[in-house]
Structure 1
Amino acid sequence: MDNNSTHIKPSEATLFVLPIIYIFLCILGLFGNILSQWVFLRKIARKTSTHMYLINLVTANLLVCSAMPFMSAYFKEGSTWIYSSAKCKVVNFLGTLFMHVSMFVSLITLSCIAISRYATLMKKDLTQEETASFYEKIFYGRILKKFCQPNFAKKLCSFIWGAVLVTIIPITIYYSAVELYEENEKMCYSEVAECGTGFSGTARLVGIAFIGFCFLVVFLSYYSFVSYLRKIRKNTSITKKYSTYCLVKRHLLVIQCLLVVCFLPYSIFMPIFYALTKKNDSQQLGYLVEIKNFLICLAAARSSTDPIIFLLLDKTFKKTLCNLFRKTNSPQESS
């Protein structure tokens, strides 16, 4: 690979727009997620399994927000840094590690929330129905039931972090210390750094397939619940439970929309990206890299907007946060 093919010249959008977006998302995300974590840990005494998953999601959000200054610096100055410089290696390694770890922890956690919301009602209804099959009673009453238990959710979240870290850290080390070094890259912002090669390129494709799997889990949870809701409407009266069913349906729909808006464009584009980058066209490659980076930024933006989504996913969080703002505003109103 010659030097001309490996050096990519970033556009004005990459040099100025992306750094500004990342800094804005960082400030917004740190404020919202720190406040959310404080509410979950300090103000909610009785924590459900959903709270455990949301605490885990906020932790992943804080990690990605801490990576945003590195990403901003990389896009702003990376094209002028020599790869062997310390700042390039630190920004490249930490930015890549934090972004990917938080992304996959968030995806798995969102999938667990969808499963737990789906299981909450299914285990209550199917285990009580006389017509429920043995398979339904075992699957919904025993297996999925665990996703609704706070202790299990806490252990599962710890396992998620351990599994993701054990998987991502070696890949990131190999990518930063071996692949880029073997390619003799001169500039920090380059084709190999942006596209990957060999092992890391394959790992990224596996990661994209995993995003699709998480989306499939959420979609199947939503589809199964809607199908079940239609089924029981024909057989029984659910007027008393209708509001609860609609709430769970909304939760599943919110999670599905998050994945569709933030992660689906990235997962659809990346196979196209790798197919087109095989062509030795530096101008086209530059455009493809910039599209990829903006789609990654879109995925990262979910971490900054999650505190707003929490208002839709958890009534206790919404009620606690509203009470806090009322107490804050009440002295000013009385004065």
Structure 2
Amino acid sequence: MNNSSCLQPSSATTVALPILYSCLFPVGMLGNFLSAWIFLCKVPTRRTQYIYLANLVAANLLVCSTMPFLAAYFAKGHRWPYESVACRIAHHLGTLVMQVSMYVTIVILCSTALSQYATLKKNCGPPHSPALPATLHGRLLHEFRQPKFAKYFCAVIWLIVLCITVTAITYNVQERVSGEFPTCYNIKVEAGERPAMIAAYLATVCFFLAFMTVLWSYYSLTRHLSRIQKTTCIGEKHLVYRTVKRNILVIQMILTVCFLPYHIFRPIFYLLLTDNDCLRLNYLVEIKNVLTCLAATKSSLDPLITLLLDKTFKKSFYGLFTKPTPEHQKPNDDIFTEMGRNMERLS
């Protein structure tokens, strides 16, 4: 974009987005710090389910920590010089870290859905059904429910994130600053150059792979449970199956509501980007930023979703504000604990 004055923020960018990020920041940090403390001190993180959730909380904290930088960028970025320290910090610690951490949450959400699907399918099949790891597909599902695999898998994800972040920051720092963009709020920051565009397309493909994987797991689980209900009497365990179905459905809804609009629009954004239509450019950039904020909202609301869905987390949270219950009086109502015990006996 040769015309550096073409991109001009509206009040939706300079007022609404800073207010939204400023509200999401304390809510997200408080909720995720509380979640992190519960996972560290109250919940047995050696189980696969909680390994994924603990790493999800870490990714949420990273996303939430970028919100003050994003709020400052949208409020004052059109006044900052492009070569200023404030611009570079907002760009690197705001946009870049938030984008990378967002994809960590997407991958971990997908892994959580696969883990629950694999665990339930392992424990709820007919007595004489083939073992889960009999095929390549079965062996892969088997790995996703193993705590050791979950730890290594999450470690690899964070290593990839570190490499991508360091590489991108190094590239941007070494880049020569020209006088083409006098302010921080410009098309180079908002859209990036060719490497950023290629990375955006690859990230979009990764999202749709994760999205379709979760959709497939929900469909397969529904079909599997329908099939065994016709041949066996599952009785009281139906509550467990129904709860896991609900959890996978909630993950699918999170991906659909928070992330799908952004990833549908992102290819459109790059395809419609032109050098000679300033009005279209401003609309495209502002729609992109609003949808990015919608995706970031998920990280602030995750603790509430976990509180509603996971009984162990809920009991630990309520235990912070109530008198401890004697051990012999505690009800055995944690479905994931029971599933974990069943899995350990069957493994």
Q: Match for 1:208 among 182, 204, 207?
A: 204
Provide the secondary structure at the position in 1 that maps to 2:233: coil
Q: Match for 1:233 among 223, 229, 233?
A: 229
In the other structure, the counterpart of 2:311 is 315
Q: Could you tell me how far apart the structure 2 residues matched to 1:279 and 1:173 are?
A: 28
In the other structure, the counterpart of 1:3 is 3
How far 1:135 moved relative to its partner? 7.5
Greater helix fraction, Structure 1 or Structure 2? 1
How far 1:172 moved relative to its partner? 4.5
Range 135-144 or range 189-198, more displaced: 135-144
Distance 1:297 1:241, change over 3 A: same
Distance 1:11 1:224, change over 3 A: same
Q: Match for 2:216 among 220, 230, 249?
A: 220
Provide the secondary structure at the position in 1 that maps to 2:320: helix
How far 1:3 moved relative to its partner? 2.9
Show CA shifts across 1:30-81 (max 9, x none): 1000001101101124641111111100101111111000000100000011
Show CA shifts across 1:180-204 (max 9, x none): 8368322110012111221111111
In the other structure, the counterpart of 1:137 is 134
In the other structure, the counterpart of 1:44 is 43
Distance 1:136 1:98, change over 3 A: same
In the other structure, the counterpart of 1:196 is 192
Aligned length: 324
Alignment of 1:91 with 2:90, yes or no, is yes
Provide the secondary structure at the position in 2 that maps to 1:237: coil
Structure 1 gap segments, 5+ residues each: 329-335
Structure 2 gap segments, 5+ residues each: 325-347
Provide the secondary structure at the position in 1 that maps to 2:123: helix
Show CA shifts across 1:214-262 (max 9, x none): 1111111111101111111222222232111101101100100110010
Range 186-195 or range 270-279, more displaced: 270-279
Contact 2:15/2:75 (<8 A) preserved: yes
How far 1:153 moved relative to its partner? 1.4
Distance 1:74 1:268, change over 3 A: same
Q: Could you tell me how far apart the structure 1 residues matched to 2:71 and 2:140 are?
A: 43
In the other structure, the counterpart of 2:337 is none
Map 1:77-226 onto structure 2 (within 5 A).
77-126=76-125, 129-132=127-130, 137-139=134-136, 142-175=139-172, 177-178=174-175, 181=177, 184-226=180-222
Distance 1:95 1:268, change over 3 A: same
Distance 1:168 1:213, change over 3 A: farther
Q: Could you tell me how far apart the structure 2 residues matched to 1:108 and 1:13 are?
A: 31
Distance 1:89 1:231, change over 3 A: same
Q: Match for 2:269 among 266, 270, 273?
A: 273
Contact 1:92/1:176 (<8 A) preserved: no
Distance 1:289 1:141, change over 3 A: closer
Distance 1:7 1:212, change over 3 A: same
Q: Could you tell me how far apart the structure 1 residues matched to 2:74 and 2:203 are?
A: 23
Distance 1:282 1:22, change over 3 A: same
In the other structure, the counterpart of 2:287 is 291
Provide the secondary structure at the position in 2 that maps to 1:326: coil
Contact 1:93/1:173 (<8 A) preserved: no
